[in-house]
Chains A and B, each alone.
Chain A
Amino acid sequence: MTAGIDKGPAAVGQPRARRTLLDRAWRELKKAPPTAWFGMIVILGYLILALFAPWIAPYGQSQVFDMPYSPAFYEPGWDPHFLLGTDQLGRDMLTRLIFGARNTIGIAVATTMLSFSIGGSLGILAAILRGWFEQLLSRVVDILMAIPSLIFSLMLLSIFGSNIPNLIVIIAVLDATRVFRLARAVAMNVVVMDYVEAARLRGEGLGWVMRREILPNILPPLVAEFGLRFCFVFLTIASLSFLGVGIQPPTADWGSMVRENATLITYGSFTPLLPAGAIALLTVAVNFVVDWFLHKTSGLRDEH
């Protein structure tokens, strides 16, 4: 449906009162489905926990008490000092869960951002330059994508050593391959537009064409992808930590918390499931929001 037809004569030629960005955002929010609201509230909650962890958490993240495996409130013999009990070394579970949010989410956000800056800029560049540059990059990406990424990152982490900067860079580079493909595909549709040609005729440099002409027009799919990628990165970090090469102790993080307390599950306690649940909840929430956003920007409309 073209805009010219459905707006009718009233919209043509007459200045329409411009809504402010905030106003428009609020109107969209009011129409958001409950799932999106749920997602946003959960994400907001996580963000608050992550940002204010030291003030919210009852203890320090690696503060050890002399009572390992203290039961949680839903188990017999609960110690009211430790709401969710303690782990194998006697550290408070609740505290570590809260700090885990901070560490895991922080690293995941940094990794996703890095992978988007690498993949996004190379993808747009490939779409503009075409030729051997695009071919070379695309084939390299194909090769990287052909290797199972978990095994590949495991290998790289064992080679370069498992610390947080390495973790971020390696996962970011591996994930950038997906971003590259998406960015290149959507930028390809924009590059052929006359306004891009007009900018080139004006003599604009590559940087301007990428940043000002193309990027704003491919932002919606990239933002949606950002949400999804964030989930995947988050899960990868958790899996790597679970395997022991991710975030190293004593830093609290949800993946390694699952591993460290895994034995408890054989005793009928579901404490190890708490960090797993925290991961699942955030993933679901992010997906709800992304889903709504995709629906908004893809131009799919509800039939009236």
Chain B
Amino acid sequence: MSTRKKTPSKAGREKGEVLLEIKGLKIEGFADDEWHPIVNGVDLTLKRGEVWGLIGESGAGKSTIGLAAMGFARPGCRICGGSIVFDGIDLRAASEDTRRKLRGSRISYVAQSAAASFNPAHKLIDQTIETALTHHIYSREKAISDAIDLYGRLQLPSPETIGDRYPHQVSGGQLQRAMTAMAMSCRPDLIIFDEPTTALDVTTQVEVLAAIRDIVDQFNTAAIYITHDLAVVAQMADRIMVLRYGDTVEEADTRRMLKHPEEEYTRTLWAVRSLYKEEEPGEDVILRVHDVDASYGGAVKVLQDVTVQVPRGRTVAVVGESGSGKSTLARVITGLLPPSKGEIYFDGQPLPRALKERDKKTLQRIQMIYQMPDTALNPRHMVRDVIGRPLEFYLGLRGAANDRRVSELLQLIELDDSFIDRLPSELSGGQKQRICIARALAAEPELIICDEVTSALDQIVQEGILRLLMKLQEELNVSYLFITHDIATVEAISDEIVVMYQGKLVQQGLKTKVLKPPHPAYTELLLSSVPQMDPDWLTNLLEHREETGGMRAAGN
């Protein structure tokens, strides 16, 4: 502690003074009996009150650097080079005890999944004030009143009483804000936000972003904001650092970086959203969901009077926030959840309601691709089995004929034969999703239901998957029912859009019609909540909403 130059006073936090200086940071991870470099020499100088955005694909080392800023390395990782100086304290040389005293009180961390980070057995308020109490900063009464104040500043509903709830009793967006309050409780000098809004709906994301930005500003806290969403980082950060494979690609002021990216890689990141498909109206209806109600056993209807049509060879996007019934619609169509009312017609014929009543031929014609390729592929099945099984099951292909078709399908999804003997754990996220697509294609289906197929992937990978899906549609004339909450994806690939809200249909129509104003109130909220690359977007949006007093997300 003797190296500390001055004692920090909470009041005298001036902007401009260097708070955190990382030089030549090198981190290694242990896998397959060897140490692999994860971060190779990254420099970062953070001033008080400044927000840095770290962006890059997964595996770029963003989170690892974020944790290293606290002098911490995950189990199985080690910091092996460089220096990390926080307010005059060399975190690498400091004892574990010194570092532990800093964590929580002067440097705090907001994790990606608030739901997984809160202890379900304790009330929010007890978890919020825990750090302040263990560091003996406040008395219990003072800490509680302070937490209530923070809840208020973060615009949580009824701040006095929300702390008495347990984590499962509040929504995801509220939990993420409660976690920010927890991180704020000791008024730290530095907060590390690790993808705090990635798991949230766009409509909720806006509110969390606004709350975070506001509170960081109020207390003049420095922050490192880690994300893979460029539009989000544009709203939050003063400076942006682009990372790839553990190296700094480039680093600049947010506005400059957005306008004049210097490196080729940065430009490809920026250009991702350029994908666009001209809509085509389709006449030949392949799937018609007519006036369907559905519920999970209880009296609450998850779907109410839903009517959706999918034309052959076209893409219909279903959008809405979580809880809007998008995924339930998919379950109804696949027969996993028989509807309580209404009919589903496929190619003019009524579909049997329950999965058990459908024959192989019917099952073959409707295939599904899942959101999480990690859980959609059996970790013990090799690619050969994954793709080969539907070939054998539906088409009766065996032996050499099966192998030949598997390798054709691999070619179709732009992978080569070397993948045939791999297990899912030996594939990247994008490759796994491609294998899932190949599995669906193997059945030679007419309709593929895509349930949030890109939301678990990085943007560059997302683009690749979307391009592939579009190419396959052109070649095979397959129809997609594309479920997503990402409006950017919808704009890119759909022909028609279906908007859903709380189990009901808001709108169905051609893409340009739905996206063009005037919108119904909910469509308006949904569309305006999609972050834009303009750094002033959030400010303008909030001002606009303040004036008009529009509707809020269902989760709040």
Task: Give A residues with C-beta under 8 Å from B.
Answer: 1, 3-13, 15-16, 18, 27, 193-195, 197-198, 200-204, 212-213, 216-217, 301, 303-304
Contacts and interface: CB of A to CB of B under 8 A. Distances in A.
Interface string B238-254: 00000001100000000
A198 B370 contact: yes
Q: Can you list the 9 inter-chain pairs with the closest CB atoms, starting with the nearest?
A: A216-B380, A9-B245, A6-B29, A194-B376, A8-B36, A195-B378, A194-B375, A203-B363, A194-B370
Contact of B375 (A195, A200, A216): A195
Interface stretch (B90-98, B123-131, B283-291, B421-429): B421-429
B173 to A, nearest CB: 24
A198 B428 contact: no
Contact of B390 (A6, A15, A202, A304): A202
Contact of B379 (A11, A12, A217, A304): A217
A6 to B, nearest CB: 4
28 contacts: A1-B76, A3-B31, A5-B29, A5-B59, A6-B38, A7-B31, A8-B29, A8-B36, A8-B38, A8-B245, A9-B246, A12-B59, A13-B431, A15-B418, A15-B422, A18-B422, A195-B376, A195-B378, A197-B336, A198-B368, A200-B336, A200-B355, A201-B335, A201-B336, A216-B381, A301-B75, A301-B76, A304-B76
A194 to B, nearest CB: 4
Contacts of A18: 421-422, 426
B334 A201 contact: yes
A263 to B, nearest CB: 55
B64 A5 contact: yes
B428 A12 contact: yes
Contacts of A8: 29, 31, 36-38, 59, 245-246
A198 B59 contact: no
A202 B363 contact: yes
B30 interface: yes
A88 to B, nearest CB: 54
Nearest to A18: B421
A202 B391 CA distance: 11
Given A15-B419, A203-B360, A6 B76 contact: yes
B36 A304 contact: no
B355 A201 contact: yes
B38 A304 contact: no
Nearest to A203: B363
B507 interface: no
Given A7-B36, A202-B393, A204-B393, 7 more contacts: A18-B426, A194-B376, A195-B375, A195-B378, A198-B376, A203-B363, A303-B76
**Among the interface residues A18, A193, A195, which one has the most CB atoms of the partner chain B within 10 A?**
A195
A216 B423 CA distance: 13
Contacts of A27: 33
Interface in B90-131: none
A203 B393 contact: yes
A8 B33 CA distance: 14
Contacts of A1: 74-76
A10 B34 CA distance: 12
Contact of A4 (B58, B389, B419): B58
A304 B59 contact: no
Contact of B378 (A15, A202, A217): A217
Contact of A201 (B246, B368, B394): B368
Nearest to A19: B32
B263 to A, nearest CB: 17
Nearest to A195: B378
A9 B38 CA distance: 7
Interface in B165-184: none
B377 interface: yes
A9 B59 contact: yes
B372 interface: yes
Nearest to A10: B36
Contacts, number: 108
A127 to B, nearest CB: 16
A203 B428 CA distance: 28
Nearest to A16: B426
Contacts of A7: 29, 31-32, 36, 59
A199 B78 CA distance: 41
Contacts of A216: 378, 380-381
B33 to A, nearest CB: 8
**Among the interface residues A1, A27, A213, which one has the most CB atoms of the partner chain B within 10 A?**
A1
A75 B379 CA distance: 60
B210 interface: no
A157 to B, nearest CB: 40
B533 interface: no
B204 interface: no
A136 to B, nearest CB: 21
Given A4-B59, A5-B38, A15-B418, A195 B75 contact: no
Contacts of B422: 15, 18
A13 B368 CA distance: 25
B149 to A, nearest CB: 36
B363 to A, nearest CB: 4
Interface in B12-43: 29-33, 36-38
B451 to A, nearest CB: 9
Contacts of B510: none
A12 B430 CA distance: 10
A197 B439 CA distance: 14
A201 B336 CA distance: 8
B63 interface: yes
B77 interface: yes
B363 A193 contact: no
B195 to A, nearest CB: 13
A192 to B, nearest CB: 9
Given A1-B76, A9-B246, A194-B375, A201 B363 contact: yes
Contacts of B75: 1, 301, 303
A83 B190 CA distance: 77
Contacts of B30: 6, 304
Contacts of A10: 36
A108 B31 CA distance: 39
A18 B381 CA distance: 15
Contacts of A301: 75-76
A6 B245 CA distance: 12
A5 B74 CA distance: 10
Contacts of A194: 370, 372, 375-376
B419 A217 contact: no
Contacts of A12: 59, 428
B125 to A, nearest CB: 31
Contacts of B360: 203
Contacts of B29: 5-8
Contacts of A200: 336, 355
A3 B76 CA distance: 11
A151 B221 CA distance: 69
A11 B31 contact: yes
A7 B32 CA distance: 8
Given A1-B76, A5-B38, A217 B380 contact: yes
A195 B377 contact: yes
Given A6-B76, A8-B29, A8-B38, A193 B375 contact: yes
A268 B265 CA distance: 84
Contacts of B358: 203
Nearest to B443: A202
Contacts of B76: 1, 6, 301, 303-304
